[in-house]
A and B are shown apart, each in its own frame.
Chain A
């Protein structure tokens, strides 16, 4: 079973990746100027207080020892305490993360729901007016900043029309979906543009492939050929795109959450920057990188499942 070996190998790769992510975050936090102690105590602290806190945080130990302590704590989910909110960082992250993940999931579903049919319409009418119109609209979407789209949707659909709440997250699952719809739509548009562009190209490529000619020559109906042959192959390309785009969606979520006051990871991060809350920023960067590497892993697995050539 060569594929089982490939699967296991790919799964094991995640361990050094996690380790490297941890080391990178630690090194970046130490290399760049600015230090946690003066951030916590302010400028007027006495030398004695500074020394005591430095020792308490373990910052007087060697860099190697600090790195080991940081990594072993991170593995146990211990990211220390927030400097501005005085609660464990882990609790803040655990509260905010599901919100952001829901937002990204909703945005992905919406992006695919928008892009899939339009990509087919565009590809089947290549270089005629429906194609040109669809591509022009998406070109505008791709060139519009997320916060600008968000402000317009927020004002029109929540402010003037009152169809959606102006911000927040709600209490129940249904309320979550209701609150996250507009932010999700905002986040989905630029991704939908990317999916549309790639899927249109993929469908065009598949349409001219020999096996599609063959299927048509066998007398299969156009719709059957489209569904069974063209869609399946075009989807493989899209799955990869979704996996590769998780990072960009998480980045976009930072801006979207700020615009819509959604209590997710992005808002927490921006709030923490202005509060100079380094432990929170450090933990969030680490967690988001780990999430993206997990998304890459899942993408590889799904791709193997869809495309029998992968992993052989």
Chain B
């Protein structure tokens, strides 16, 4: 049994903080994230407002805490849909092989020629800005790494004795695939998914910043940074603190993912 590494512990602690903020923002946030305070416009960080206020007097700390829920939701959905689609495709391609595998190979070659962000932006451009359309776009584009990981793992598992035993016993294909191969093949995919959520946090906030993802007045970290970008020279705290939240959440996910990979001895 390998020991838990300090990096994994740090990642878990950071994730815990973000999860806590997402779960009970009202307990943690000192103010209403949408309440204007015209007596404290663009106030610098102080004891009353630890992260300062924006140009409407809204408390940055409260807005950053409240944004955790929406950003975690983005990260989760940007991971789950590609995971499900890619996992299913990888499972079937790895099992059947042959011409299906050849078509899969060509399709992957094609999708990877499109820059990920450009393709997501293309989808969002046609479907219109907004979070639901971001999820659709990411599901259509982001399944490739999951499918490749799952396919590779199924190719290995397919050769094993327990699969041969299942066949001899006359089990139907779905039973072998879902009950026997999937539990043995899913570990690398799930570990990758944790690391992928770090990328999803960056993607979600980038689209929010560009005005294509979460729409104001929703408190989302990327939108918060975009709100403050015109005041960055005079009131840098408006954008600075939501950015710190993104960085810490990203570090949390990638340290946890890397740590889990080492802990579970998964090849990356």
Contacts and interface: CB of A to CB of B under 8 A. Distances in A.
A binds B: yes
Interface of A: 17, 20-21, 24, 28-29, 32-34, 139-140, 142-148, 151-152, 154-155, 159-160, 247-248, 250-252, 254-255, 258, 269-270, 272-274, 278, 281-282, 284-285, 288-290, 292-293, 296
A273 B212 contact: yes
Q: Which 4 A-B pairs have the closest CB atoms?
A: A143-B250, A251-B117, A247-B115, A32-B126
Contact of A288 (B115, B128, B243, B247): B115
B17 to A, nearest CB: 14
A151 B122 contact: no
Given A289-B115, A290-B113, 20 more contacts: A21-B113, A32-B123, A33-B127, A142-B250, A143-B248, A144-B243, A144-B250, A147-B225, A151-B239, A154-B232, A155-B232, A155-B233, A159-B232, A248-B116, A248-B117, A250-B118, A251-B116, A285-B122, A292-B112, A292-B113
A76 to B, nearest CB: 21
Nearest to A296: B113
A74 B162 CA distance: 53
Contacts of B222: 145, 147
B109 interface: yes
Given A140-B247, A273-B212, A33 B126 contact: yes
A142 B254 contact: yes
A208 to B, nearest CB: 18
B243 A28 contact: no
B115 A145 contact: no
A273 B125 contact: yes
Contacts of A140: 247, 251
A169 to B, nearest CB: 20
B236 interface: yes
Nearest to B107: A20
A255 B118 contact: no
Contacts of A292: 112-115
Contacts of A290: 113
Contacts of B240: 152
A21 B109 CA distance: 10
Contacts of A146: 202, 206
A interface SS class: helix
Nearest to B251: A143
A251 B222 CA distance: 17
Contacts of A247: 112-116, 118
Contacts of B115: 247-248, 250-251, 288-289, 292
A285 B119 contact: yes
A289 B113 contact: yes
A34 B124 CA distance: 12
A138 to B, nearest CB: 11
A151 B229 contact: yes
Contacts of B229: 151
6 contacts: A143-B198, A147-B210, A274-B211, A278-B125, A289-B113, A289-B115
A150 to B, nearest CB: 10
Contacts of B251: 139-140, 143
Contacts of B112: 247, 292
B1 interface: no
Contacts of A160: 233
A272 to B, nearest CB: 8
Given A20-B106, A285-B122, A255 B247 contact: no
Contacts of A250: 115, 118
Interface in B108-142: 109-110, 112-119, 121-129
A32 B41 CA distance: 44
A154 B236 CA distance: 12
Nearest to B125: A273
A177 B233 CA distance: 24
Contact of B118 (A145, A148, A155, A254): A254
A293 B117 contact: no
B205 interface: yes
